[in-house]
Amino acid sequence: MDKAINFISSLMIAVSNCSLYSKEHESFDDLAKKVYAMLMESMTDRFEIMVLHNDLVVNNTPVRKGGLHRTSLLKRFTRKGIARVEISAGVSLAEIKQFIVDLSASRKGLRAYPHIKTGSVNISDGMGVIDTSLDTFSPDDETGKLKESFEAVTFQKKLQMVALHEVVVRFIAAFKGENNVLKFLCPVKDYSEYTYIHAANVAVLSMFQAKTLGIDDELLHDIGIAALLHDTGKLFISKDILDKKGKLDDNEFNEMKNHPVLGARYLAKMDDITRLAPLAAFDRLWPLPIFLMP
């Protein structure tokens, strides 16, 4: 398994380098050769990488180690709608180079290669790829997906990040050529759904502002995920308190003030999300005037 982890690390280093520079950069050739060498050490007749829920599985064995490189590969596969990659014997260095270039690109999916097969997955139900067409886009629908993901959360059960990645991808796709951010905001129709709608609106405003500052690609996506999850701690606050329309008493107010710690603690235990997420959740802890408290 160490050889497989080394391959993943070398692959993601090459992908990051290609994203920052290009395949024409002087270091690309050396990095690609290292990826190829690591692959040759790791494979027999084939080498398979799969994404199952939030887990990375290599040659039918879950990969728990690998740190940021493992997490980056998971995120990149998820963003591109890739569920499985199978590399067969006979793969050439040229194919690996093209695979690295395609994996570094922001567009969804991968091309066909003679010795590399890829399988696509829909972010929500496992069938097909993410639909980013504006014909099917609706801010209300994206908020609905967010609600479904949040309602399934407990301290013992992790967030299913694939649905949240889909929400971010579709919002980013909808931003293209659009200068009016207000059309993407959802009004609060029912106070009981405020948490989900607020999370979606904060994500929209954060990503839109980041994009106007020139931020794009992976960092823009990470900002969207962090914004969606900034109030995760409220998922562990009593619904009676969240839905209360009158003034909170002292005990209720103290419980509400604890939600940044609860959210940051929960998110910090997840190894498949951007490190911006627990920071954004914990940032809610800083003192605010009472009339500004959530």
pLDDT in tens, 136-177: 557 777 777 778 888 777 666 777 777 787 788 778 777 766
Q: What is the 3-state secondary structure (H, E, C) of 56-86?
A: EEECCEECCCCHHHHHHHHHHHHHHCEEEEE
Q: Tally the residues of the chain.
A: 294
**In this structure, are 47 and 142 located in the same domain?**
no
Positions in the chain short of pLDDT 70: 1, 53-54, 66, 108-109, 120-137, 154-156, 176-179, 188-192, 284-294
**pLDDT at residue 291 in the model:** 39
* Domain endpoint, select from 96, 120, 144: 120
**In this structure, are 140 and 270 located in the same domain?**
yes
**In this structure, are 265 and 143 located in the same domain?**
yes
What's the domain count of the chain?
Answer: 2
**In this structure, are 225 and 148 located in the same domain?**
yes
**In this structure, are 177 and 277 located in the same domain?**
yes
* Domain endpoint, select from 94, 120, 146: 120
**In this structure, are 56 and 184 located in the same domain?**
no
In a domain, 128, yes or no: no
Cβ–Cβ < 8 Å for 48, 85:
yes
**In this structure, are 60 and 194 located in the same domain?**
no
**In this structure, are 50 and 187 located in the same domain?**
no
Query: What's the gap between Cα 183 and its chain centre?
Result: 24
**pLDDT at residue 121 in the model:** 47
**pLDDT at residue 75 in the model:** 82
In a domain, 125, yes or no: no
**pLDDT at residue 178 in the model:** 66
**In this structure, are 63 and 167 located in the same domain?**
no
In a domain, 127, yes or no: no
Give the Å distances, CA to CA, from 52 to 37, 73, 94, 125, 187: 27, 13, 29, 12, 35
Q: Domain containing 199: what range?
A: 134-292
* Domain endpoint, select from 95, 120, 145: 120
**pLDDT at residue 288 in the model:** 43
**In this structure, are 150 and 262 located in the same domain?**
yes
**In this structure, are 22 and 103 located in the same domain?**
yes
In this prediction the pTM is 0.57
**In this structure, are 111 and 160 located in the same domain?**
no
